[in-house]
Amino acid sequence: MKFICGGIRPMEKSELTNGKKLPAKLNKMGPALNTETVVLNVILRHPENVESLVDPLEYSYNDMRQKRLTHNDLYKKYGAHSDDIQKVENFAKEFNLLILDISREKRTVKLAGSVEHINKAFDVDLFHHEVDGKRYRHFDKEISIPKNLKDAVEGITGLSNTPVLKPFYHYNISHKVHSMAEENINQADMSLTPEKFAKYYNFPTNYEGSGQTIGVIEFGGGFSKDILDSYFKKLGMETPEIIDVGVGGKRNNFGESSADGEVMLDVEIIGTLAPKAKQIVYFADNSDSGFYDAVSAAVHDTVNKPSIISISWGVTEAYYNSTNLLIWDKLFTEAANLGITIFAASGDNGASDNTDSIEVIFPASHPKVIGCGGTMSELEDSHLLEIVWNNDPKLSATGGGVSNLFPIPPYQGNIEIPLNSEQNKGRGVPDVSGNASPGYQIYVSDENFQLTGGTSAVAPLWAALFARFNEQHGDRLGFVNPMLYELKMRGFNDITIGENGYYNATTGWDASTGLGTPNGTELYLAIKDYITNGGAIFQEKDPAIHHDEL
């Protein structure tokens, strides 16, 4: 098996990949109408006449911090070259495509054209198919482009508008739904509010994320300010600053779909655990193009400049092949160079992602993202007891495992990564974990609250924790993956009991819960010592203090 770190391998016929495999049971509805308008993005390379952008996997944490760039630095040196932009403009003119936008900073040219012209321009056959009773557009041929564009273009998104992403949140359907109007809710129901997890995970006190901005990525649904006001008032808190940003025409549309639950879970957990941090919620379409556009919008947001990004959505790695990941690798590399920390949920359907094979979830599986797995938690005498979250190995359990796309990154070189189902070793997922069993009290509508969880709760929990860390440190910590593994488990509660349907928890890192859940204050002190001493002091450090376990 051949692993990649993400990347297009241009073919002799100057082809690009479609990037994703559709489900086997594809319900084709016939060719797309020639008059239908298609909007797509052409992603360009970094200029070829400059040194390569620093790859965070090739440097130590402290060296990477020294090489950090501002947005202006990044765009001045690594923005798209005018010659490459001109090639795309000429291509668009030749095939009667309209140029909607050019972003040198994002290295993106947005084009629009009829299905007829798109089919000719990229040598594809766009067709309609049905998913859950709705009609979408896709194609099943490789994308071809003129040879003079081959070197300049790294990827194309937007030819398909098929939904590809799943939100990773769960409701506890056995839990009693309470009215927000009830003033005397049983205290047991209030015992696992997000702020209580800040106590159990020993979050640093006297820090609330002041001066930090967290980007939250969403693909449907929305949030209601009125409901958020009621929720935070119930907790005796002020409503934090939460701003919605539309990407590609998508907006905050509360009441649109069940995805409201995902959005409200994300913003309420962050708002409770880092109440002084500003949240920028990027809403985009659930498609390959919307996925990339949303994360790119957050990374390249020169107005809000998020220092942390939380992603509670993902897609099984099997939906990608080996050639359309370069655009993602470059985007995550840019984020690391800008000092942005990215957290992503590892999935809620166990080691198989509810498929017939053993799979991991992207983007949590990317080595430049921190994958977030889940535990089951129970209170006993004010202590949090934790094992691997696994209520059902396919329907309600933490994702985790070994990547089939990405090799073992250098920072995981000294841990024992098991063989995956294909008898290969690759990037291990997740990196960290937190409570994912439905135990967070969340308001979703104006009528009730519900106990909610999933690894969707873990990514924003860690995002909020790092907002406190950044405030305490006085600077963004940035790409911390290598450092986390060099702390010798200091600052982590090691989870050693349970499994996710394929991978067992063990002492130290494992493919169910990663390094473990946070002992926040201890973890920050470990990070501070590491930065101050260049990591040398951790050669003989004792393991982290473990949680009690079920």
Catalytically annotated residues = 262, 266, 456
Q: What DSSP line would sit under 126-183, residue for residue?
A: -EEEEETTEEEEE--S-EE--HHHHTTEEEEE-S------EE--EE-TTSPPB-TT-S
Q: What is the DSSP secondary structure assignment for residue 14, as one 8-state letter? A: -
- C-beta neighbour count of 325 within 10 angstroms: 25
Torsion of CA 396, 402, 404, 410, to 10 degrees: 140
* Phi, psi dihedral angles at 462 (to 5 degrees): -70, -35
Instruction: Provide the token pair at 502.
Output: 């394929």
Helix (H, G, I), strand (E, B) or coil at 89: helix
How many CB atoms within 10 Å of residue 389? 33
* Neighbouring residues of 85: CB distance < 8 A, sequence distance ≥ 6: 44, 102, 104, 109
- DSSP string for 301-312: -TTT--SEEEE-
CA 550 – CA 543 distance, rounded (Å):
20
Sequential DSSP letters for 218-286: ESS----HHHHHHHHHHTT-PPPPEEEEESTT----TTSSTTHHHHHHHHHHHHHHSTTSEEEEEE--S
**What are the residues facing 510 on neighbouring strands?**
514
Cβ neighbourhood burial of 133 (10 Å; 0-12, 13-18, 19+): exposed
Evaluate whether 113 touches 97 at the Cβ level (below 8 Å): yes
Reading the block at residue 87, the tokens are 């090639």
Give the separation between CA 68 and CA 499, rounded to whole angstroms: 38
Beta-bridge partner residues of 345: 372
Tokens of 272: 């409770």
